[in-house]
Chains A and B, each alone.
Chain A
Amino acid sequence: MRIGDAKQSYEADEAIWTSHTQKLWFGLFLLILLLFPFMADSYLLYLGCLVGIAVISTTGLNILTGFTGLISLGQAGFMGVGAYTVAWLSLNTGLPFPVTLVLAGLMAAAVGILVGLPSLRVKGLYLAIATLAASVFLHFIFAEWESVTGGMGGLSLEPAHLFGWSFQSDFMMYFIIVPLAVLMVFAARNVFRTRIGRAFIAIRDRDISAEILGIDLLHYKLMSFALSSFYAGVAGGLFAYFFRVVTPESFPLSMSIFYLAAVIVGGMGNLLGGILGAAFMTLVPEALKLITAALTPFYPDAPVFMSPMLEIIFGALIVGFLIFEPHGLAEIWHRIRRFFRLWPFRN
């Protein structure tokens, strides 16, 4: 049972760190993240990088869908904008990666603002369909604007570099992706302690009421779009550096749905949920691959059924979570924590 938890000021209640235990656990978590690449094999490293990219993108979508209540089916398109920006810049200018990643984020944010413009006039599902239209147009541009995007063949790029270092291996990429993911989640956490973040939440809860409270709807909705697509752009840029090839098919509509599913499975409007959801949804297919590999000696047909099983599990996870656990993995996490916190006193 946790004691000594009384808060005496608003600042204390709003602080990111509310207890020393929390700091200790978080330090431990960071240490594990730091030591992980030295102990993991190449497959685990690869997964670690994938999860890191997914966490950034999911956090971005969570800002837009979970906190501002604007549903978007364009996340993969925004990631594509970031990825193509990075690919084009590294092919034509040779800038180091921190510059290209920021530019990728800004480019995606600019596109995000453009896509968000109808958001004052249309909302809810109509907005979702407007973002769907945007992702169709973006895919079209990626495929047809051959002088810049390389058409259907896409672009191949050099590894990320900085001060003469070349980040070629997954091991090196891990040290770009994971610190960036931690940093960006922290940035998002802080946004929601400011006026901007509070305005987002007010808009989600009831946009008309928010407007009456003096929140400029268009301004804040566009800001949410910009912020969310900035995250997507950075994630897309990392995606480009990680796989070092970008094609129009790298960012299909199903990827947008994947991120929406990650937000829902993790828990909408909860940053921890976004992280859990991103990790969970990235690791489920890998777990299924392992199970299939283990079953193949007994059932030679097992690999044939893997891809359909994956589709079914993906759909069942979305439906199951929405019906039985609408607050997602974050709620399960809280329940576990509550159990330990109340441990000797619960029955």
Chain B
Amino acid sequence: MDWLFFGEISLAGLAMGGLYALIALGFVIIYKATRVINFAIGEIMMFAAYLFLAFAGGMELSAWIALPMAVIGGSILGGVIEKTMIRPMLGESPISVVMVTIGIASILVGLVEFIWTANPQLLPSFLPREPVFIGPLYLAPKIAYGFLIGSALLIIYLLYFRFSRGGVALRATASDQAAAYSMGINVRRVFNMAWVFGSLAASLAGVLVAATGGLSPQFGIIGLSVLVVVIVGGLDSILGALVAGVFIGWLETVAGAYLGGEYRMPATFLVLAVILVIRPYGLFGTHEIERV
């Protein structure tokens, strides 16, 4: 076995896993606050990446202006989706709400094809190009810098939820909506905020992933990998999202490199199936007790 090759593949996988962790964090924020499983997260990422393409490629803005604009655009999209399509579904069965997010995903794919055509696109490269070496191991620069930017946002998020007023409101709503409401927390604003923050994380990750792998209307398929991450980690666990994100990213890359691209999805879904049987609420998720 070639340890150098394995090391390089693993490193690339771990860096990709860092981005998965960021997306999964966006997913978990939305789930914790509003109990909505967001099947449209891959499409929100895609939409933000296309916005970046429009700002940086079409309008020829500097990438460092286009990136925040695209990310803000993506988070506004998340807020609008919550206000217009998720809010009316409050109190409906989870199946219905999930189907609404699947419908939203389809609408977003259609919109993107409508505006930018169905052809695959390349994002203008904006990350430094010098190869990165960690010890003897080579890491593609796009992945390395993508990982750095992603982790920066991840750390900001973790600090924000731990210490800021908004973060505390969000955690309070997640643990008990009625109690939070009676303590004067504006639960409706928290719902909206959760979607905005969740989509913001997803949007940044979307631009970074699209910068390494290219962009097409099928980009949203990455949402399935994220789904595996959050189920394995536990839907309502931020720690779970981080650990499982890194692990699934690593596993997917290693399986793809050693067994071939067609094994990527089955490998991660095998882990998912095992987890569902052994610990249905995920590695770090809360085990809910159901009462009649």
On whether the beta carbons of A326 and B92 are closer than 8 Å, the reply is yes
User: B106-119 interface mask toward A, CB cutoff 8 Å, 1 = contact, 0 = none?
Assistant: 11111111100110
| B102 CB-CB contact with A under 8 Å | yes
Q: Which residue among B89, B95, B227 has the maximum number of chain A CB atoms within 10 Å of its CB?
A: B95
Residues of B within 8 A of A124 (CB): 94-95
Q: Is A318 interfacial (CB-CB < 8 Å)?
A: yes
Bound-state Cα–Cα, A223 to B288, Å:
27
Selected from A260, A309, A319, the residue in CB contact (under 8 A) with B85 is A319
Contact A315 B105 (CB under 8 A): yes
Partner among B95, B109, B114, B231 whose Cβ is within 8 Å of the Cβ of A126: B231
| Chain B contacts for A129, CB-based, 8 A | 227, 231, 272, 276
Q: Range of interface residues on chain A?
A: 35 or more
Residue A178 is within 8 A (CB to CB) of chain B in the complex: no
| B265 in contact (CB, < 8 A) | yes
Whether A310 pairs with B231 at a CB distance below 8 angstroms is: no
Tell me, yes or no, whether A307 is within 8 Å of chain B by CB: yes
Please indicate the chain B residues that have their CB under 8 angstroms from the CB of A143 in the complex: 262
Q: Is there an interface contact between A133 and B272, defined as CB atoms closer than 8 Å?
A: yes
The listed residue (B37, B89, B110, B224) touching A312 by CB distance below 8 A is B110
Given known pairs A121-B277, A133-B269, the reply for A319 and B231 (CB within 8 Å) is: no
Query: What is the total number of residues of chain B having a CB less than 8 Å from a CB of chain A?
Result: 41
Q: Compute how far the CA of A136 lies from the CA of B271 in the bound complex, rounded to whole angstroms.
A: 13
A289 CB to nearest B CB, Å = 16
**B292, A308: Cβ atoms under 8 Å?**
no
Do A130 and B276 touch across chains, with their CB atoms under 8 A apart? yes
Interface SS of chain A: helix, strand, loop or mixed?
A: helix
Q: Out of A126, A261, A313, which one reaches B99, CB within 8 Å?
A: A261
In the bound assembly, the distance between CA atoms of A305 and B110 in angstroms comes to 9
B200 part of interface (Cβ distance < 8 Å): no
- In the assembled complex, the Cα of A315 lies from the Cα of B88 at a distance in Å of 16
Docked pose: A310 CA to B106 CA in angstroms: 9
Q: Do residues B99 and A310 form an inter-chain contact, with CB atoms below 8 A?
A: no
- Chain A 230-266 interface mask (CB, 8 Å, partner B; 1/0): 0000000000000000000000000001001100100
B107 & A312 in contact (Cβ 8 Å cutoff):
yes
Excluding A122-B276, A312-B106, 17 further A-B contacts by CB distance (< 8 Å) are A118-B277, A126-B231, A132-B224, A133-B276, A137-B266, A208-B292, A209-B292, A261-B102, A264-B99, A307-B113, A308-B109, A309-B110, A311-B106, A314-B103, A315-B103, A316-B107, A326-B96
- Residues of chain A at the chain B interface (Cβ within 8 Å): 65, 69, 71, 118, 121-122, 124-126, 128-130, 132-133, 136-137, 140, 143-144, 206, 208-209, 212, 257, 260-261, 264, 304-305, 307-319, 322-323, 326
